[in-house]
Amino acid sequence: MAGKKKSPGVTPPPYHHGDLRQALVQAAVSILEEEGLAALSLRAVARRAGVSHAAPYHHFQDKEALLDAVAAEGFRLQMLDMHNAAQNAAAPINGLQAFGLSYASFARKHPSLFRLMYTHERFTPGTSPELVQWSGAIYPQIIAGVRERTGCSEEEASSIALVLWSTMHGLAMLALDNQLSWPGAKPLDTLAFEVTELLGRVMPERKSPP
Amino acid sequence: MAGKKKSPGVTPPPYHHGDLRQALVQAAVSILEEEGLAALSLRAVARRAGVSHAAPYHHFQDKEALLDAVAAEGFRLQMLDMHNAAQNAAAPINGLQAFGLSYASFARKHPSLFRLMYTHERFTPGTSPELVQWSGAIYPQIIAGVRERTGCSEEEASSIALVLWSTMHGLAMLALDNQLSWPGAKPLDTLAFEVTELLGRVMPERKSPP
DNA sequence: ACCTGAACACCGTTCAAGT
DNA sequence: ACCTGAACACCGTTCAAGT
């Protein structure tokens, strides 16, 4: 019961609510995970954060700006995932497969967030720098991963990374659309595994065999 | 001034309006092409078709059902495109490239329609049979295209077709998201050309060289 | 058989007013 | 500096009523 007065030496909470901006982003993410994209209205986000429906306008210019922040958070999460996959890439046969499986599993674990990240007609001039930065980090990360595992030049690695990214992205998108769900179809993980194996054949040799 | 009375020998127009159902689908397509996905409301569609905002409910159960019909029309158009590309595949180096370029150019020519087709969380049980049929025709068409140009078994062709489809789909999606638009980036057509060329290396030999 | 107009609950956005 | 409540225009959906 020490009370909740501002304790000295701690930076005071920057807003009335605590940090409403961040709370709104988190509320939006929960709605996405629990109820899907269709349920993601500004008013629902405000409701879940426990503020009036007009409150978000003190932190975001409009709904699109909030969605931008949510998408940026999504890209941050995906970067974490990719990073972890690169670390734990002991089991898969090659690094491409580690990446492919991580991409597929992220899409499967966060389908609505994944859709929001890649699907709204965003990335116009005027998109928040935060989103531009986080979303722009994905491709370089893939390129770096490819270079680490091959003796590729920067240019060669860029081409391979683009094929790899496109393929996994398309596979994930089609799977989320249920386009790959005919009777007896293989699950996304299996497809990702097989497809990256096939792609491995166009890759140059590993830089240094173990 | 022969009047517009029903002429004998011609099937009478099935609805008051002419064929309102089809008119609504066409109105929706125009809105998509001219104003984009965000402008596609049921009421706007009705407005453009010149009927009251409640009229669509006599032809579609709800908005989702109308969007399903629009998506089905999109898949029909894409099938036509793919078919034409297969016919005129004289210039490109191989059949994969003909397909890849057609996929990319369709996405570029109809960005909002393409997004609607592949991006809404549709294809649940209860999706209209019309949409299931048209959307389900794409993958077999790609498989057939691959088989025609190679001596592949059905199973082998399915794998190659899946990689091809995923890759082109991902490339198109990422391009529409402006994810492939860094300064000095190549246009989508060029990327599609290069990527399919790279994929060609994993393809078996052509069945019969010219 | 097909269409309309009024009605309802919801949404995005604005703005004067509150602390 | 931050938040609220009322207001406005818009949307999806329903339904009695019109032809």
- Facing residue for A202 by CB, picked from B139, B180, B201: B201
Mean pLDDT of chain A: 86
Is the per-residue pLDDT at A151 higher than 60? yes
pLDDT level of residue A11 (50, 70, 90 thresholds):
very low
A174 and B121 within 8 Å at the Cβ level: the answer is no
- Check CB contact of B110 with chain A, cutoff 8 Å: no
B-contacting residues in A 149-188 (Cβ below 8 Å):
159-160, 162-163, 165-174, 176-182
Any idea which nucleotide's C1' is nearest the CA of A66? C12
Interface test with A, best of B169, B191, B197 (most A CBs within 10 A): B169
Is the per-residue pLDDT at A210 higher than 70? no
Name the helix (H) or strand (E) containing A186.
Answer: none
Alpha-carbon gap: A103 to the closest alpha carbon of chain B (Å):
13
Is the per-residue pLDDT at B6 higher than 50? no
B119 and A177 within 8 Å at the Cβ level: the answer is yes
What torsion, rounded to 10 degrees, do the Cα atoms B41, B46, B49, B52 define? -160
Instruction: Count Cβ neighbours within 10 Å for each residue of A131-170 and write b for 16 or more, e otherwise.
Output: beebbeebbebbbebbbebbebeeeebbbbbbbbbbbbbb
Is the per-residue pLDDT at B1 higher than 80? no
User: pLDDT tens digits for A25-56?
Assistant: 999 999 999 999 999 999 999 999 999 999 99
Q: What is the per-residue pLDDT for B13?
A: 39
- The answer to whether strand D lies under 7 Å from the CB of residue B62 is yes
Q: What is the per-residue pLDDT for B14?
A: 45
Q: Residue range A128-142: average pLDDT? A: 94
Distance from residue A20's CA to nucleotide D7's C1', rounded to whole Å? 25
Q: If DSSP codes are grouped into helix, strand and coil, which group holds residue B6?
A: coil
Which range, of A65-69, A156-160, B125-129, averages the lowest pLDDT?
A: B125-129
Distance between CA atoms of residues A122 and A131, nearest Å: 10
Distance between CA atoms of residues A45 and A29, nearest Å: 9
pLDDT level of residue A110 (50, 70, 90 thresholds):
very high
Q: For chain A, give the percent of residues with pLDDT over 70.
A: 85
For chain B, give me the number of helices (H) and strands (E)? 9, 0
Reported pTM: 0.90
Residues in Cβ contact with A26 at an 8 Å cutoff, skipping those fewer than 6 apart:
none
Which range, of A33-47, A58-72, A124-138, B157-171, averages the lowest pLDDT?
A: A124-138
Is the per-residue pLDDT at B85 higher than 90? no
Q: What is the per-residue pLDDT for B204?
A: 57
Distance from residue A92's CA to nucleotide D2's C1', rounded to whole Å? 51
Alpha-carbon gap: B73 to the closest alpha carbon of chain A (Å):
17
User: pLDDT tens digits for B161-190?
Assistant: 999 999 999 999 999 999 999 999 999 999
Q: What is the per-residue pLDDT for B4?
A: 34
Q: Are A178 and B123 in contact (CB under 8 A)?
A: yes
- Phi-psi bin for B183: left (phi > 0), alpha (psi -120 to 50), beta? beta
Distance between CA atoms of residues B143 and B51, nearest Å: 43
Q: What is the per-residue pLDDT for A72?
A: 97
Distance from residue A21's CA to nucleotide C11's C1', rounded to whole Å? 21
- The answer to whether strand C lies under 7 Å from the CB of residue A176 is no
Closest CA relative to residue A77, chosen from A124, A18, A138: A138
Distance between CA atoms of residues B67 and B34, nearest Å: 16
Is the per-residue pLDDT at B64 higher than 60? yes
Is the per-residue pLDDT at B141 higher than 50? yes
Size of interface A-B (CB pairs under 8 A): 116
- Check CB contact of B133 with chain A, cutoff 8 Å: no
Q: Residue range B84-93: average pLDDT? A: 68
* Long-range Cβ pairs for the range B35-43 (8 Å, 24+): B36/A121, B36/B112, B37/A121, B37/B112, B37/B115, B37/B116, B38/A121, B40/B67, B40/B112, B40/B116, B42/B66
Q: Residue range B91-95: average pLDDT? A: 61
Alpha-carbon gap: A96 to the closest alpha carbon of chain B (Å):
14
Which range, of A2-11, A139-148, A150-159, averages the lowest pLDDT?
A: A2-11
Length of chain B: 210
